Structure 1
Amino acid sequence: KRFPESEYARDARLKLDLAYDHLAGKEMAIGRYYLTRGQQIAAINRFRTVIEKYQTTSHVPEALHRLVEAYLSLGIVKEAQTAAAVLGYNYPGNEWYQDSYSLLADNKLQPSKNDDSWITQTLGTIF
């Protein structure tokens, strides 16, 4: 912040992005662990952290997909549909979207926007 034009500024930004990506990866690993143990609410909290704090990382598409999985297993259909809609809007060709869409289709559901969802409010600029 103090020396944005410094010769080290670009390198510092890259290292900061890498650090955020590592932190998001740790949250994802913990969230996946919770999912395998049937602790969906704990997993949702981890994936939510990735979406809220680490929006610029490569882990966001998977976090949205894992939210679809967790919400469907809890029976919270609107949130699952919203997570899939956000995933499809931002990452339409991504493999995680294809998996999420298949999960919803297996339950005879479609991705749809829910304005009351925390996902829409957090990533509200996407719609």
Structure 2
Amino acid sequence: MKSFRLMMPFVVGVMVSVAGCSSSEDPEKKAAMANMGAQQLYDNAKKSMDNGNFSAAANTLSALDSRYPFGPLSNQVQLDLIYSYYKSGKIDETLATIDRFIRLNPNHSDVDYAVYMRGLTNMESDTNLFQELMNINRADRDPAKSREAFEDFRKLIEQYPNSKYAADARKRMVYIKNRLAQYEIAIARFYMRRQAYVAAANRGRYVIEHYPNSDQIQQALEIMVSSYEELGLNELKDNAMKTLKLNFPESEFVS
């Protein structure tokens, strides 16, 4: 039975655990750990995970992984370490452990889980918890990690279509598409403010072509209408306006 726990769909945001004393800060605990066998170390890590102390669990699992890299528990240790790092908010460590697990165990039955966790971790690193709490819209920040997450989820669905994580991955891809479309719209508006209407229209068209099912289509069409009008490109403006009227008759641009 796997000791890691499945993610609930659409729970985004770093879940920071209460950090316990690390072995490096407690000489007695460090000495005790040095005398423990693999199973005892793993049991201690599992207990920390069950108590929600993922930072302590990660410390123990990391020590166990270093001491017994090829033991009978090694694969499960790495899977639990991925989850513990993730729950501790340690993005770089999570990604490094995921990549190592996939590289060393390409045919393991839980590779789909590792790929899924890679997508979650990249998605998480594109989320600023404090901005969300303060309701600050930062759609203009670089979405590179969102693109990586999208590719991770796409890989999961293509290579492991029957995975238990595939359905959630599809939902997250929809969310990411909207995030990427928002970024293009934010950049388009930046160009509009600087009267760079060709660049603005191109960004709007990019959204139409690449994110046709996103929630930014109306704004993309409105930007195209405005930009083409400023450029005196009446035929292109009329075509964009017809599409806008057909799909978004309530738009203020239509009236």
TM-score, normalised relative to structure 1: 0.71
Q: Quick one: which amino acid aligns to residue 239 of structure 2?
A: T
Aligned partner of 1:110 in structure 2 is none
SS at match of 1:55: coil
Distance of 2:167 and 2:245 partners within structure 1: 32
Give the letter aligned to residue 254 of structure 2.
Y
Confirm whether residue 73 of structure 1 aligns to residue 226 of structure 2.
no
**Which residue is equivalent to 1:42?**
199
Q: Does 2:180 match 1:23?
A: yes
Deviations 1:73-117 (A, max 9, x none): 111111111111111212233xxx3x2224xxxxxxxxxxxxxxx
Residue by residue over 1:3-51, the C-alpha shift from the partner in whole angstroms, topping out at 9 and shown as x without a partner, is 3333211100011111111111111000001001100001111111111
Gaps of 5+ in 2: 1-157
The letter of the residue matching 1:44 is A
Q: Which amino acid aligns with 1:83?
A: A
Q: 2:216 aligns with which of 59, 79, 97?
A: 59
Matched AA of 2:193: T
Is contact 2:244–2:254 with CA below 8 Å preserved after alignment? no
C-alpha distance in 2 between matches for 1:92 and 1:45 = 23
CA distance in 2, matches of 1:2, 1:31: 35
State the match for 2:246 in structure 1.
Answer: 89
SS at match of 2:159: coil
Percent identity over the alignment?
36
* 1:3 counterpart residue number: 160
- 1-side partners of 2:240 and 2:253: how far apart? 9
Task: Quote the Cα distance in structure 2 between the aligned partners of 1:8 and 1:92.
Answer: 38
Partners of 2:253 and 2:196 lie apart in 1 by 19
For structure 1, the 5+ residue unaligned runs are 103-127
Post-superposition shift, 1:61? Answer: 0.8
Q: Name the aligned partner's letter for residue 48 of structure 1.
A: R
The answer to whether the aligner puts 1:14 opposite 2:171 as a matched pair is yes
Distance in 1, matches of 2:162 and 2:246, equals 35
Paired position in structure 2 for 1:109? none
- 1:101 matched to 2:101? The reply is no
> Across the two proteins, how many residue pairs are aligned to each other?
98
Partners in 1 of 2:208 and 2:236 — Cα distance? Answer: 14
